[in-house]
Chains A and B, each alone.
Chain A
Amino acid sequence: MATLIDAPPPTVAAPTSKSAGGGLGRYILIRFLLIFPTIFILVTLVFFLMRITGDPITAAQGGRLPQEQIDALVHQAGYDRNLFIQYIEYLGHIATGNFGRTISDGRPVIEMLAKFGAATLELSINAVMVALLVGIPLGMFAAHKRDKVPDAVLRMFAILCYATPVFFAGLLLKLTFSVGLGWFPVAGRASTTTELAMGRLAAPTGVYWLDALRSGNLAAFGDIVHHAVLPAVALGLLTAGVFLRLVRTNVIGTLGRDYVEAGRSRGVSEYRLVTKHAYKPALIPIITVMGLQIALLLGGAVLTETTFEWKGLGYQLAQYLTARDFVAVQGIVMLLAVIVAITNFVVDIAAALIDPRVRY
């Protein structure tokens, strides 16, 4: 649940005007190359941590099958060999996109990832939209009203957003809006009819509302949005609280700068000072830190999906965890690691692009 207020020291310093000419290109390249050690480290850590205390077959079937049978299975899968050799082999496999087969239902992990990844993507996009729409304007408003009542109320709101575990927020939303008021469905991504319609599409993206729009199926689109509201709000508010505080703190910081005072001394309105003069320079740290929130979001997605039976990676992860299917768990964790690494790369580049000192 990563939340920072100020930008962390970047691993690679963004270039400044001193290194003008090719500085940006070089920065992007170096920052891109840095993705690989990150992923490599995570792959390595996860592999050894998950395997150091035993093999996945024993973990999954231990006690359920006779020991000889387990031994045979373990031997057959090669889990009884030297761990380091298995590691090298594993690296080779994942480099070619082979994440192994799940133990509980014997499916290729990669297929499972492809199937459920889109649902998680959809939930994340919805939640980010909620978070941005709520967090940024309210954060600017709180900064503008700092230390006054609206600011205190918004800060309390932000703290509550963060302090409420996503599954508890989900529970409250369900109790109120589904069970109590009956406005929204209790769970799921879409009604059965829509699910079937989505399943029949020729080349689906897997993001339901996008598919519904592309196929012009407005009824399905309505149904999808109807289902998406509560999970998006539950997960979005968690991140919105963080965004709100992030925007507030950074805008307060830039509002105190000389250049804002300079704008004020030329008669620029307070509204414009907040939304332009203070907000844009604040964006550089804000974007960097927002990138790190992807981790918070994905962690939250696991819990949200479980809460709302949203059949994505997080939901599957919880299922596999219950089944102690650590091959599948490892695959999902790996994929999320890659997503996090790539998002952070994109975000860092975006932050660098906003800064004219980097561009020119």
Chain B
Amino acid sequence: MTINIDSASDRSRPADQPVLEIDHLKVTFATDGGDVYAVKDVSLDVRSGEVLAIVGESGSGKTVTAKTILGLLPETATSGGAVLINGNNVISVSAAKLRQIRGRDVAMVFQEPSTALNPVFTVGWQIAEGIRAHAGGAGGKRVSAKDAKVRAIEALRKVGIPDPEHRVNYYPHQFSGGQKQRVVIAAALALNPGLIVADEPTTALDVTVQAEILELLRDLRDKYGTSIVLITHNMGVVADLADRVVVMYQGDVVEEAPVRVLFAEPKQDYTKKLLAAVPHLGRNSASEGLRERAHQGSPVLVEATNLTIEYPGRLGTPAFKAVDGVSFTVSPGEVFGLVGESGSGKTTIGRAIAGLNRTTGGSLKVLGYEMLNLKERTFKPLRKNIGFVFQDPAASFNPQLTIGDCVAEPMIIHTNPSPAQARKRVAELLESVQLPASYAQRYPHELSGGQRQRASLARALILNPRLLIADEPTSALDVSVQAKVLELFKEIQAEFGFAALFISHDLAVVDILSQWVGVLYKGKLVEQGIGSQVMGAPQHDYTKRLIASLPVPDPDEQARRREAHRALLTQ
């Protein structure tokens, strides 16, 4: 590996000495409910040119650990132990010294590129701010604005922004999501730090963009020898990029191992459970062995023919076509998986079927009812046959009502039951979704995310609907919780026998549940077919790219897939 000459010469260190050393780190937060021990005892090190992944679910303390490396904890936090970067203990150095370390020795890449960039300054200015904050050059003088800009252009070029001389004067909103993340990485690279802390760098991105950013990070490591601390919950990303993995759980390090060892033979129970919960494309496919579409024969529940949905443009701008000429059917008992990246129109279709969005062209028949020119009064009786599960379990319950009231609401509206009947039915349903009946008296905030999503499922199913629409029902959940909810969904679907439209951006999740899968791209249904066939032998170019971009949680398999992906792109 090569060390970048122009900057790293003064900080060159013996290859075996760690770039970062964390020794018995402890972080405590003062909160209303007393002290919270976010990080209990973490020790790890990162060597030069190494990618260390810290993985864990929410509450594991991985993000807090990452912030500690740059001294970015809020004032309510107290930390103990040591975080050594180039001989400086970040926890105890002075504020002035800490500022010197930040950006020069260690830099950060954030999760959400659109919020990590200041909307009212040009990207060049923002990158230059970091450069000018540090005395540059030999004499320790401030860097002039002109020089800083030159270096900002250089940084943009490094991360593959085309035409950086021109783009350096762009504002963040003029870049796409993936480009924004490149700019964030460029800002981190501006002073050639030896270490980059990347906090969920691809979580906010679509899977095809994620592949590009992972590629870029790998390049940085290979070309400049930059060490990377990769914070993530995504095992596929870990398998793709990491050299070594630290697994965290509730503030402690559970296991640490080279990436291949960890995936091949995890030692700790928690790691095993975590890995088992990760959906793996191509395994557990719901359509395994299917040769033709199941559940055909009875009249379809949903029939879209050339369905078009437009959002009117503002101030006379042309309308935006969210859904463009889509045709598909959903039959009774069938689970139809709808996959697509952001902006593909998948959510719009789901909402249109539930009458939350108006259709503007073509035809959409739901339970025989034509949704074009929907009249709420005539559609209302049909609503009892449709259930809906929303993405965000926290927001989909009225915070003022108990879970019991929320779950019973569809019943109260449509069948006017006695309070006792309603209570009984709610208890039955809660049991079906494996929640104690006593939870009916609780308020939504007293449940965890997974529990709320179960309750949401109970509400959707209380009237025994013939069709269930689930819009990204597990994407807000941790992977182990997701696994349980998916399993529950599968069981209940088999038991109740409803048809479902399962909407998700996650191919692996869709494949686990759906026999029939449709792939949406920019409002068009580019491909549909039996799940395992679409995933295994995609026909459309976009589907091929999409599937090739998805990192699988297996380092060796992922290395092969990466090569295939590269080949696909260079074709």
Interface residues of chain A, those whose CB is within 8 Å of chain B, are 13, 15-19, 23, 26-27, 30, 257-269, 272, 276-277, 280-281, 283-284, 354-357, 360
Contacts and interface: CB of A to CB of B under 8 A. Distances in A.
A356 B188 contact: no
Interface string B55-93: 000000000000000101000000000000000000000
B130 A259 contact: no
Contacts of B100: 267
Nearest to A354: B120
A26 B317 CA distance: 11
B133 interface: yes
Q: Which of B72, B102, B133, B315 has the most CB of A within 10 A?
A: B315
Contact of B173 (A13, A263, A268, A356): A356
Contacts of A355: 119-120
B103 A266 contact: yes
30 contacts: A13-B314, A15-B314, A17-B173, A19-B313, A19-B317, A26-B315, A30-B315, A259-B116, A261-B116, A262-B126, A263-B129, A264-B72, A264-B102, A265-B72, A265-B107, A265-B108, A266-B133, A267-B134, A268-B130, A268-B133, A276-B129, A277-B121, A280-B118, A280-B120, A280-B121, A281-B118, A284-B120, A356-B122, A356-B171, A357-B173
Contact of A265 (B102, B118, B120): B102
A15 B317 CA distance: 10
Contact of A360 (B101, B107, B174, B317): B174
A357 B103 CA distance: 28
A148 to B, nearest CB: 10
Interface in B102-159: 102-104, 107-108, 110, 112, 115-122, 126, 129-130, 133-134
Q: Which of B104, B110, B313 has the most CB of A within 10 A?
A: B110
Given A259-B118, A262-B108, 6 more contacts: A259-B116, A262-B110, A266-B187, A267-B134, A277-B121, A360-B174
A263 B126 contact: yes
Contact of B316 (A26, A259, A268): A26
A258 B126 CA distance: 13
Contacts of A257: 115
Given A265-B103, A268-B133, A259 B117 contact: yes
Given A263-B118, A265-B107, A277-B118, A27 B102 contact: no
B130 A267 contact: yes
A174 to B, nearest CB: 43
B99 interface: yes
Closest CB pairs A-B (n = 6): A266-B130, A267-B103, A266-B103, A356-B171, A258-B115, A259-B118
Contact of A266 (B107, B120, B314): B107
B184 interface: yes
A128 to B, nearest CB: 23
B102 A281 contact: no
A17 B174 contact: yes
Contacts of B99: 267-269
A267 B104 contact: yes
Contacts of B174: 17, 360
B172 to A, nearest CB: 8
A53 to B, nearest CB: 43
Q: Which of A13, A15, A27, A263 has the most CB of B within 10 A?
A: A263
A140 to B, nearest CB: 16
B220 interface: no
Interface string B399-418: 00000000000000000000
Contacts of B53: none
A19 B311 CA distance: 14
Contacts of A272: 129, 133
Contacts of B330: none
Interface string B303-328: 00000000001111100000000000
Interface in B261-319: 313-317
Contacts of B190: 266
Nearest to B318: A19
Nearest to A256: B74
B187 A262 contact: yes
Contacts of A26: 315-316
A16 B70 CA distance: 34
Contacts of B103: 265-267
A262 B188 CA distance: 9
A352 to B, nearest CB: 12
Nearest to B104: A267
Contacts, number: 107
A148 B271 CA distance: 44
Nearest to A16: B173
A360 B167 CA distance: 13
Contacts of A266: 102-103, 107, 129-130, 133, 187-188, 190-191
Contacts of B130: 263, 266-268
A272 B128 CA distance: 13
Contacts of A30: 315
Nearest to B131: A266
Contacts of A360: 171, 173-174
A18 B317 contact: yes
A260 to B, nearest CB: 8
Contacts of A17: 173-174
A185 B120 CA distance: 46
Contact of A27 (B104, B119, B315): B315
A357 B187 contact: no
B108 to A, nearest CB: 4
A19 B314 contact: yes
A137 to B, nearest CB: 20
A30 B314 CA distance: 12
Contacts of A280: 118, 120-121
B171 A258 contact: no
A272 B108 CA distance: 19
Contacts of B101: 267
A30 B110 CA distance: 38
A26 B102 CA distance: 44
Contacts of A277: 118, 121, 129
B110 to A, nearest CB: 6
Given A281-B120, A357-B173, A360-B171, A267 B133 contact: yes
B70 A265 contact: yes
Contacts of A265: 70, 72, 102-103, 107-108, 188
A17 B176 CA distance: 12
B100 to A, nearest CB: 6
Nearest to A358: B173
A262 B107 CA distance: 9
Contacts of B119: 259, 281, 355-357
Nearest to A264: B72
Interface in B11-59: none
Contacts of B118: 259-260, 262-263, 277, 280-281
B251 to A, nearest CB: 22
A269 B129 CA distance: 10
Interface string B175-203: 00000000010011011000000000000
A15 B112 CA distance: 23
A108 B267 CA distance: 94
B117 A262 contact: yes
Contact of A23 (B108, B116, B120, B315): B315
Q: Which of A17, A19, A356 has the most CB of B within 10 A?
A: A356
B166 to A, nearest CB: 13
A150 to B, nearest CB: 15
Contacts of B110: 258, 261-262
Nearest to A284: B120
B219 to A, nearest CB: 21
Nearest to A277: B118
